[in-house]
């Protein structure tokens, strides 16, 4: 039996710890005129469990949310009945299922680009022996919507559904660089709450450079020995729908050198862009290192 490739899962390195759900509630002064208490409780439960990896009981959920067990129990049962929460075998506690992610992938813009990209990504991963992933903007975050593992014994992978601040990621900066100016400004202004001002200034310059050269390339940002390379997937309006990214892992088992893999990644992104009605200008190869 062939050995399963060993993957270095970097999702924990790029996914920030979420704030407790209770801490994200709006203050009383901002209370809306119309409320849906049961819906609010259900969303609180879903948002809480999305931040946890270990199963929790209804009483633990109530404790973490600062609510009574009576308030939470019926909501938890309803979410379990609808398949959003599940109990691992032999457990009384609950975890979040993948049903929410399944709903997100049915959203037509995501579904269309993933359907177009998947066979191209599959072929690229096989030809280069490198992992490939695709990300989209989700508010101020980048979110992974497709991932193809490398056939190599050791590779980098990001979990589908993983999210992190867009300005901090190769894919996210590529996406921001090819958005309308007002969208860029909104994302960068929102980032002020989590990114120190000097660092955000550097990100602003880097995003402007990406827009000028047409891609993002950065070495060792998340994992030493990995060069992240990302090209946008463009629509007919010249806006990036997604970013196609290769975390190129340098090793003694390299089949395709970086410069050749970069050309192959660009061609894949250009093909997907064409299927989306867009056009991706070709940069000058070989791609120089960026700082």
Q: How high is the mean pLDDT in each 10-residue block of the chain (291 residues)?
A: 52 41 48 77 90 88 92 92 86 82 63 91 96 92 93 85 93 96 92 93 96 96 92 94 95 87 98 95 94 77
Alpha carbons 290 and 280: distance in angstroms, whole number: 20
Indicate whether 235 belongs to any domain.
yes
Over residues 49-86, the pLDDT tens digits come to: 888 878 999 999 999 999 999 989 999 999 999 988 98
How far from 47 is each of 18, 52, 145, 146, 209, CA to CA, in Å?
Answer: 9, 9, 19, 22, 36
For residues 82 and 171, state if they share a domain: no
Q: Are 67 and 202 within one domain?
A: no
* 108 and 91 in a common domain: no
Q: Where are the alpha helices (DSSP H) in 3-105?
A: 11-14, 37-49, 58-65, 69-81, 99-105
Looking at the structure, tell me whether residues 61 and 184 fall in a common domain.
Answer: no
Residue with tokens 């990300």: 135
Residue 203 burial (CB count, 10 A): 19
Quote the pTM value: 0.69
Judged by phi (left if over 0) then psi (alpha if -120 to 50, else beta), residue 24 lies in alpha
In a domain, 287, yes or no: no
How much is the pLDDT for 179? 94
Q: Which of 97, 116, 135 is the last residue of a domain?
A: 97
Considering its fold, how many domains does the chain have in total? 2
pLDDT value of residue 19: 43
Q: What pLDDT is stored for residue 222 in this prediction?
A: 86
Q: For residues 123 and 164, state if they share a domain.
A: yes
- Decide if 201 is inside a domain: yes
Domain with 116 in it: what CATH number?
A: 3.30.450.40
Q: What CATH number is given to the structural domain containing 52?
A: 1.10.10.10
Q: Is residue 211 located within the same domain as residue 124? A: yes
Evaluate whether residue 118 is within a structural domain.
yes
- Asked if residue 213 and residue 168 are part of one domain, the reply reads yes
180, part of any domain: yes
Instruction: Report the alpha-carbon distance of residue 279 to residue 235 in Å, rounded.
Output: 7
Per-residue pLDDT, 21: 44
Residue 107's pLDDT is 62
User: Could you tell me the residue range of the domain that residue 91 belongs to?
Assistant: 35-97
Considering the domain architecture, whether residues 126 and 236 belong to the same structural domain is answered as yes
**Residue 37's pLDDT is what?**
86
Q: Are residues 59 and 117 in the same domain?
A: no
């Amino acid at each position: 039996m062939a050995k399963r490739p060993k993957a270095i899962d970097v999702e924990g390195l790029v996914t920030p710890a979420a704030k407790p759900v209770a801490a994200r509630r709006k203050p009383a002064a901002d209370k809306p005129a119309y409320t849906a208490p049961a819906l609010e409780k259900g969303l609180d439960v879903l948002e809480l469990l999305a931040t946890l990896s270990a199963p929790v009981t209804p009483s633990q959920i109530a404790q973490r949310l600062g609510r009574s067990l009576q308030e939470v129990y019926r909501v938890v049962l309803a979410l379990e009945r609808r398949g959003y929460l599940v109990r691992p075998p032999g457990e009384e506690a609950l975890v979040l299922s993948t049903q929410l992610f399944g709903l997100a992938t049915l959203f037509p813009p995501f579904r269309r680009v993933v359907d177009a990209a998947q066979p191209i990504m599959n072929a690229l991963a096989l030809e280069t022996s490198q992992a490939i992933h695709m990300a989209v903007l989700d508010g101020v975050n980048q979110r992974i919507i497709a991932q193809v593992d490398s056939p190599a014994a050791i590779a980098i992978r990001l979990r589908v559904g993983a999210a992190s601040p867009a300005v901090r990621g190769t894919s996210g900066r590529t996406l921001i660089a090819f958005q309308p100016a007002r969208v860029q400004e909104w994302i960068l202004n929102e980032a002020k709450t989590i990114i120190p001002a000097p660092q955000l200034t550097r990100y602003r310059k880097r995003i402007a450079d990406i827009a000028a050269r047409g891609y993002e390339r950065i070495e060792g940002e998340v994992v030493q020995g990995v060069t992240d390379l990302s090209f946008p997937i463009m629509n007919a309006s010249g806006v990036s729908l997604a970013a196609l990214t290769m975390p190129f892992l340098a090793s003694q088992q390299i089949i395709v050198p970086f410069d050749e893999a970069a050309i192959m990644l660009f061609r894949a992104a250009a093909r997907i862009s064409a299927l989306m009605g867009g056009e991706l200008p070709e940069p000058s190869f070989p791609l120089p290192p960026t700082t």
